[in-house]
Structure 1
Amino acid sequence: MSTKKIFQELFSEINAVYDENEAKSIVYLLLEHFQGISKTDILLDNPLKKAFDYQEIIHRIKQHEPVQYIIGETEFYGRIFKVSPATLIPRPETEELVELTIHTFQDLAKKQLIPSSPKILDIGTGTGCIAISTAANIQDSVVTAFDISEEALKMAKQNALLNEVNVNFEKVDFLDESVHDTLPVFDIILSNPPYVMNLEKQEMEHHVLDFEPHLALFVEDENPLIFYKAIAKFAKKHLTENGFCIVEINQAFGTETADLFWKEGFKSVEVIKDFFGKDRMVKALL
């Protein structure tokens, strides 16, 4: 079978449950991962190098299982990260958090307001994508990452090895404030905590709701800012002078999240939009 033919067969199957652009993207990922077939191979209609039984994969796709879980990896900020149902799949919006962190650090370090070898904390690390990406891009940084999930931490440690980056991973229940006093100070605190309310479940896609870990996604409707309250309070006590905190947020609570940092006495707090124009991050400078 030629590459064009198998592409068309896979596309016709997947297009039954995904729109055209997403179906094409999924097929490209599957063929690249399982067959080593590039877009160029498909355009040139190069012959298949080996047999490819894709019926089970098609079944999983039609059950709305994310393709990243099927191939076991995804790309984030130019690096490959292993993923599993124990971790959220890193999103492009979170790449913007990493980018903002790097630029903010560079600006403050240039003004000698923050150490050139900063201590960085990532709260709720999941795959480790934020911690590993910042460690890789901020030279001589000392990065610590917390998560409550043992399985997520195992995956994050694998990703640190895969990307040849040193990160200190620790199992911590961050909402247990009794552990806060035992923790050191940091120059930078980052987090993409759970922020989706239960009432928002009805608006979510099946591939997220049915497969990604709810522990890393959802908060109770009556207390949607629970993690941000804890982070703001912690950051006030555990950031060095001129240190900063950047958190990814629920777009519905940009102002409310920023207010938590203002109330803790941060000297500068900003709500930042993502590339879709939605409130997506809060940056707070101490």
Structure 2
Amino acid sequence: MTIQSAFAGIMEAIRPLYDAREASNIAHLVMEHVTGLGKLDRIIHKDGDLPPAQEALYQQALQSLLELRPVQHITGKSWFYGMELTVSEQVLIPRPETEELVEWILLDHPTQPAWRLLDIGTGSGCIPIALKKQWPAADIWAMDVSTSALAVATRNAGIQHTPVRFVHQDVLSPDASKVLPSLNIIVSNPPYIRESERTGMQQQVQAFEPGIALFVPDNDPLLFYRRIAALAKEKLEPGGKLYFEINEALGQEVVALLVKEGFEDVRLKQDMFGKDRMVRCTKKEAAPADTTSPS
């Protein structure tokens, strides 16, 4: 089997599952994983035969694709904000929409402040690692309930040379805030897909990405937003910012919750596809002390 015929074989096998552009991207990622060669080198050596070990890896990858396993789990890698990160079934695969959330934070604070920042539900660590890359002087914390996810995130932080303080904690626990310092920014991409929406999701997501990071009960879809808002009221400095990624169907509900909780400058932002995807708000500044003398 040559490199060219192997590529063509993937395209033919997955064409019923993906559109042509996505199928091509997947085939290129798998072939780079199998051969260790970039696209240009694979073109130059397209008539070269796959050694037996590579052909075995190719067959294994092809079978995984036909089982609808995400290509990122096959290669063990995913790109986020210009970084190659390790991923596994223990963490969500980083999405472009989450890159937009990171970009919003950076655009809001272009001076690279030496602040304290917390990411809640960090998963692969993509958000805090990307921010630490851009803000090396910041003291960045990241929390997750999953020890397996934290192991992936810690590995990614080491590979990227980005010191992040990882904390094993369930944000729903009353004790979640005890180990945290005061903070200038809190960011979270929490579980926000309602259980009733599960059946409409791609099989690649349902079967292979961690449900604990995806789903919330239908009767309490704002569970994590309410708890994180309470933590933010306790731990954010006055004037501090809270950023969320959200369910596109619940944007107004999240805004109303944050207004009710006393945050100001609550803004709903759309993603590149025009869907409600992010919310930012500010903890109110402390009221000035009344210095007037009693009459």
Q: TM-score, normalised by structure 2?
A: 0.90
In structure 2, the partner of 1:78 is: 82
Paired with 1:63 and 1:35, the residues of 2 have a C-alpha distance of 22
Identity of aligned residues (%): 39
Equivalent of residue 99 in structure 2, options 88, 95, 98: 95
Letter in 1 for 2:21: N
Paired with 2:46 and 2:8, the residues of 1 have a C-alpha distance of 14
In structure 2, the partner of 1:112 is: none
**What is the 5 A alignment of 1:107-186?**
109=111, 116-186=113-183
In structure 1, the partner of 2:25 is: 25
Alpha-carbon distance, 1:10 to partner: 1.8
Runs ≥4 in structure 1, deviation > 6 angstroms? none
Q: Deviations over 1:216-243 (max 9, x none)?
A: 0000000000000011111122111221
Residue range with higher mean Cα deviation, 252-261 or 214-223: 252-261
Letter in 1 for 2:18: Y
**What is the 5 A alignment of 1:40-51?**
40-44=40-44, 46-48=46-48, 50-51=50-51
SS of the equivalent of 1:179 reads: coil
Q: Could you say which structure has the larger radius of gyration?
A: 2
Number of equivalences = 279
**What is the 5 A alignment of 1:196-275?**
196-275=193-272
Residue range with higher mean Cα deviation, 175-184 or 135-144: 175-184
Unmatched segments (≥5 aa) in structure 1: 110-114
Paired with 1:165 and 1:39, the residues of 2 have a C-alpha distance of 29
Paired with 1:165 and 1:129, the residues of 2 have a C-alpha distance of 11
Contact kept in structure 2, 1:26 and 1:67, CA below 8 Å: yes
Contact kept in structure 1, 2:69 and 2:204, CA below 8 Å: yes
Paired with 2:127 and 2:26, the residues of 1 have a C-alpha distance of 24
Alpha-carbon distance, 1:47 to partner: 3.9
Contact kept in structure 1, 2:91 and 2:209, CA below 8 Å: yes
Alpha-carbon distance, 1:71 to partner: 0.8
Alpha-carbon distance, 1:18 to partner: 2.2
Contact kept in structure 1, 2:122 and 2:144, CA below 8 Å: yes
| Residue 38 to residue 181, structure 1, CA distance change in 2 (3 Å) | closer
SS of the equivalent of 1:261 reads: helix
- RMSD of aligned alpha carbons: 1.6
Paired with 1:175 and 1:49, the residues of 2 have a C-alpha distance of 54
Contact kept in structure 2, 1:35 and 1:49, CA below 8 Å: no
